[in-house]
Amino acid sequence: MSSSMNHIAQSTNRRKVKTGCKTCKARRVKCDESRPACRRCISTGRTCDGYGIWGGGGSPYGPPQINKALSVYCTPVPAGCLTREEQTCFDWFMSKTTTKFAGIFASLFWETLVFQASAQEPAVRHAVVALSAAHRSNLSSESMPTMYGMDAERFTLLQYNKAIHHLRGVTTGGSSKNALRVTLITCMLFVTLEYLRGQHRMGSAHLGYGIQLLTNISTTAPHTSMAPSILSPEEDFVHDALVESYARLTIQSAMFGHVPSHLCMIVRDPQLHALPYRFSSLVEARQTLDDLLTRIHYLERHIHSAPADDDPGTDPEAFDTQRRIMADLLLWRKAYNASLSLLTTDACKEKIGFLLLRIYHEMAMIMASVCLSREGEMVFDAYTNDFVRIITAFF
């Protein structure tokens, strides 16, 4: 009896923590629930594991190396959710595919969000397996064996259909915010899968659908008809990761003619956010340049869609838009030069990243200079020296 009373007393006195970030709940301390990371963790030097990907946090805060380890390895897929072959593909995704699609520049989507989402959402999980199977098949001449006796293509399509099946359940039964986020994450994986399979039309259709979903919930009208829509980031890890990934892929696809220009969007409003004197990171430099490329492409497409008898050189709005883009490109180069000594490290990946940005900037300057011209390809003859600099940059 005495031991029972002691047990009840201990249970009563024990602090119960039902809300707050994962770190504070694990420590059984009261969390101030600040977003995206709680102040209690930050003030004590701890890594805030966030509130789960649907809770407004979800981004581990701390040293980058620790963040990546947490995001990839501390959100495991629940046991029994995948077959042996599916697990093999998921492991391949973790070690090979995500690195490939993240590329030189850090990516919140590919390096963090997709792992967290796949641990919780079957639709994302099977989309990941489908993408990984296609990627693995492209790199290997041997057919990937499966317990279903299928070749890699059929296995990929099976996982694709599983993802769609689970996604339908999410969109019909989940809360609107959760359903939208799962849909956008899965949609990005579908886009990448279709592009990888060479199905550019289908991939672009998925991308257009995803962009429209994003713009419906978080878009600002442009200040001029010659500027793209503004899809502003928020103090929300999941939203920012989605905006970054969609904005980046959209301009890349648009420049190859796969996505209509009216779907292009920028992340920062150039009238509200001046370019910095120096960049705080390689990622900031790339995101800013991506926005500039989007503005150039949008202006160029606007001019070329106008009636043939219209002279863009006499359009004051077009000329002023071009002038502001050129001025921002010059400011970008100044910020880039000022940042080199502060941000350049011995890491090969970062060195290549800074070199690529310089090449992209050279390309952007040429594009901006000729975007109002209708002279055809001959107009580029005046920029031969600029093209030579681009070609010889790696030598």
Q: How far apart are CA 329 and CA 277, in angstroms?
A: 13
More confident residue, 322 or 394: 322
Domain boundaries, the chain: 1-63, 75-273, 279-395
More confident residue, 33 or 320: 320
Q: Which helix (H) or strand (E) holds 229?
A: strand 229-230
Helix residue spans in the chain (DSSP H): 2-13, 22-27, 39-43, 64-73, 84-92, 98-102, 108, 114-120, 122-139, 152-173, 176-196, 200-218, 237-255, 282-304, 316-343, 348-370, 384-392
Quick check: 93 pLDDT over 50? yes
**Residue 324's pLDDT band (boundaries 50, 70, 90)?**
very high
Predicted pLDDT at 162? 93
Identify residue 56 by its one-letter amino acid code: G
Residue corresponding to tokens 């994003």: 214
Residue 238 phi/psi, 5° resolution? -65, -45
Identify residue 39 by its one-letter amino acid code: R
Quick check: 52 pLDDT over 70? no
Predicted pLDDT at 66? 32
Q: How far apart are CA 392 and CA 74, in angstroms?
A: 43
More confident residue, 179 or 20: 179
Among 161-170, 327-336, 343-352, which stretch is predicted with the lowest mean pLDDT? 343-352
Q: Coil, strand or helix: which one is 127?
A: helix
Average pLDDT over residues 248-252: 87
Average pLDDT over residues 310-330: 85
pTM of structure: 0.75
Average pLDDT over residues 357-372: 93
Report pLDDT digits (tens) over 120-159: 899 999 999 999 999 988 876 554 555 455 678 888 999 9
